[in-house]
Amino acid sequence: MTQKYLKTFLVYGLVIFACSSVQASKPNVVVVLCDDLGYGDVHCLNPERGKIATPHVDRLAKEGIVFTDAHAGSAVCTPTRYGLLTGRYSWRTHLQRGVVQGFAPCLITEDRPTVADFLKSQGYHTGIVGKWHLNFQYSDPATKKPIKRGKGKGKDKGLAPVGSKIPDGPVDRGFDYYHGFHHAGDMKGVIENDTVIKHEDEIHMLPRLTRTAVQYIDHRAANAPGEPFFLYVPFGSPHTPIVPTQEWQGKSGLGAYADFVMQTDAGFGEILDALDRNGLSDNTLVIFSADNGCSKAAGIPQLQAQRHYPSAHLRGSKADIWDGGHRVPFIVRWPGQVAAGTTSDQLICLTDLFATCAELTDASVPAGSAEDSVSFLPALKGEPIVSSRAGVIHHSISGHFAYRQGKWKLSLAKGSGGWTSPNEKQMPADSPVAQLYDMEADPGETTNLYNSHPEIAARLLKQLETDVARGRSTDGAATENDIDKIDLWKSEK
Task: Give the Cα separation of 269 and 237 in Å (integer).
Answer: 15
The amino acid at residue 392 is V
**CA–CA gap between residue 161 and residue 403 (Å, rounded):** 43
Query: For residues 24-42, b (16+ Cβ closer than 10 Å) or e, as one string?
Result: eebbbbbbbbbbbbbbbbb
Which CATH architecture fits 392-469? 2-Layer Sandwich (3.30)
- Whole-number Å distance between alpha carbons of 355 and 27: 15
Q: What residue spans define the domains of the chain? A: 27-380, 392-469
CATH architecture, domain 27-380: 3-Layer(aba) Sandwich (3.40)
Its pTM stands at 0.94
DSSP-assigned beta bridge partners for residue 289: 33, 330
Residue-by-residue pLDDT tens, the chain, 493 positions: 334 333 333 333 333 333 333 444 699 999 999 999 999 999 999 999 999 999 999 999 999 999 999 999 999 999 999 999 999 999 999 999 999 999 999 999 999 999 999 999 999 999 999 999 999 999 999 999 999 987 656 778 889 999 999 999 999 999 999 999 999 999 999 999 999 999 999 999 999 999 999 999 999 999 999 899 999 999 999 999 999 999 999 999 999 999 999 999 999 999 999 999 999 999 999 999 999 999 999 999 999 999 999 999 999 999 999 999 999 999 999 999 999 999 999 999 999 999 999 999 999 999 999 999 999 999 999 999 998 999 999 999 999 999 999 999 999 999 999 999 999 999 999 999 999 999 999 999 999 999 999 999 999 999 999 999 999 999 999 999 999 999 999 976 6
Q: d(Cα 185, Cα 160) in Å, to the nearest integer?
A: 12
Q: Are 178 and 193 in contact (CB under 8 A)?
A: yes
Task: Give the strand pairing for 28-34 and 284-290.
Answer: parallel
Strand partners, 489: none
User: With the C-alpha atoms ordered 171, 175, 180, 185, is the resulting torsion angle positive or negative?
Assistant: negative
Could you give the residue ranges of the DSSP H alpha helices within 65-154? 77-86, 115-121
The secondary element (H helix, E strand) that includes residue 276 is helix 256-277
